[in-house]
Structure 1
Amino acid sequence: MTLRLSTLLAIAYALGFVLFAVFLGKPAGAEKTEAVVVLTGGKGRLERGMEVLKRGDAKRLLVSGADPSVTRADLARRLGPGTLATLRCCVDLGSEAVDTRSNAEESRRWMARRGYKSLRLVTSDWHMRRAAYEFRSDLPKTRIIEDAVPSRPSLFTLFAEYNKYLLRRAALWLDM
């Protein structure tokens, strides 16, 4: 009985991993939201958030988890000419978050201060499932559009993220 149960759990875990790896987050269309939240740490995330803002699909952008020493001028140098004005008018740098869970908490406080009820979440495709889960848990009444930045994650990255996702779901299920 124990062997059968262990085998069933191992098969379910492996199948879950395969599905997780095959069905990564996708980029969103041009749907409008009040805010864009970009989670730091991945290539192309900030550029995607700025693209959404410049297109007029959101009013304001939060860069959640930014290093406290990073300035708008630093971001303008990275993003290229013509971005400093947009960064000054419409971008907030949040430096309170240190992980995905605190990204959601920081974003909730920022959204509440501004009175926003909808956001576009921008992060890497491999990170989107866990990030969206955290955000939906922390902002249950907020309309969240998932906007994943395509990447080429390694097998190790996918494996680590899958395990983090499972552990976080279990922790929330156990109310931890």
Structure 2
Amino acid sequence: MIGRIFAAFLLFWLVGFLWFAVTLPGPDDSQATDAIVVPTGGAGRIGRGLDLLREGKAKKLLVSGVDIHVRPVEFATEYKVSDRLMDCCVTLGFDALDTRGNARETAQWIKKNSYHSIRIVTSDWHMRRIRQELRQALPADVVVLEDGVRTEPSLKMLFLEYNKFLLTFLSEAWPG
């Protein structure tokens, strides 16, 4: 009996992992949103977010989880952001230390600015977990568009991220 339960659990986990690894979300240029949110931590994320901002896909950009030692002028120089664009449209968030923190920082920023839709720009392998964290942090009426930055994650990276995603999912299902 225990063997069957374990086998069923393992099969469920393997099917879920296959779904997770094969259906990584990609870029989405379909519509504009009120704002763009980019959690730091992966190559190409910030560049993609800034490109979308310049293309008019949103009027504001939050970069969440910026190291506290990064000054706005250093950020602007690194990513070739004009003073005008930095002043009007880019917010650097320094409060988040992890994905859950990114979601909390994003929720506070959205509430403060009364946004109703955001585009989340993150690595394809990270999208499902940040999306799950955002579901817990954001009001239900905020529309979240997923915009995955294509990567070539290793099997180890996918394994770790899938398990983190499952833990995040389970923490929502059994919060207490």
3-state DSSP of counterpart to 2:157: helix
Following TM superposition, by how much is the alpha carbon of 1:17 offset from its aligned partner in structure 2, in angstroms?
Answer: 0.8
Deviations 1:46-99 (A, max 9, x none): 01110111111111000000011112221222223x534312221011011111
Which consecutive residues of structure 2, in runs of 5 or more, have no partner in the other structure?
none
- What pairs up with 1:134-145 in 2 under 5 angstroms? 134-139=133-138, 140-145=140-145
Aligned residue pairs, count: 175
1:128 aligns with 2:101: no
3-state DSSP of counterpart to 1:18: helix
Question: Counterparts of 1:7 and 1:68 in 2: how far apart (Å)?
Answer: 47
Residue in 1 that maps onto 2:73: 73
Question: Counterparts of 1:119 and 1:8 in 2: how far apart (Å)?
Answer: 38
% same residue: 42
Residue in 1 that maps onto 2:9: 9
3-state DSSP of counterpart to 1:14: helix
Residue in 2 that maps onto 1:92: 91
After TM superposition, which residue ranges in structure 1, 4 or more long, deviate above 6 angstroms?
Answer: none
Which consecutive residues of structure 1, in runs of 5 or more, have no partner in the other structure?
none
Following TM superposition, by how much is the alpha carbon of 1:138 offset from its aligned partner in structure 2, in angstroms?
Answer: 1.4
Calculate the TM-score normalised by the size of structure 2.
0.95
3-state DSSP of counterpart to 1:56: coil
Mapped contact 1:30–1:57 kept (Cα < 8 A): no
Question: Counterparts of 1:141 and 1:98 in 2: how far apart (Å)?
Answer: 26
Q: Which amino acid aligns with 2:142?
A: T
Mapped contact 1:136–1:144 kept (Cα < 8 A): no
Question: Counterparts of 1:44 and 1:86 in 2: how far apart (Å)?
Answer: 19
Two-structure CA RMSD over aligned residues (Å): 1.2
Q: Which amino acid aligns with 1:79?
A: Y
Residue in 2 that maps onto 1:105: 104
Calculate the TM-score normalised by the size of structure 1.
0.95
Question: Counterparts of 1:153 and 1:67 in 2: how far apart (Å)?
Answer: 24
3-state DSSP of counterpart to 2:36: strand
Q: Describe the shift of the 1:98–1:34 C-alpha distance in structure 2 as closer, same or farther (beyond 3 A).
A: same
Mapped contact 1:67–1:95 kept (Cα < 8 A): yes
Residue in 2 that maps onto 1:57: 57
Residue in 1 that maps onto 2:39: 39
Mapped contact 1:97–1:106 kept (Cα < 8 A): yes
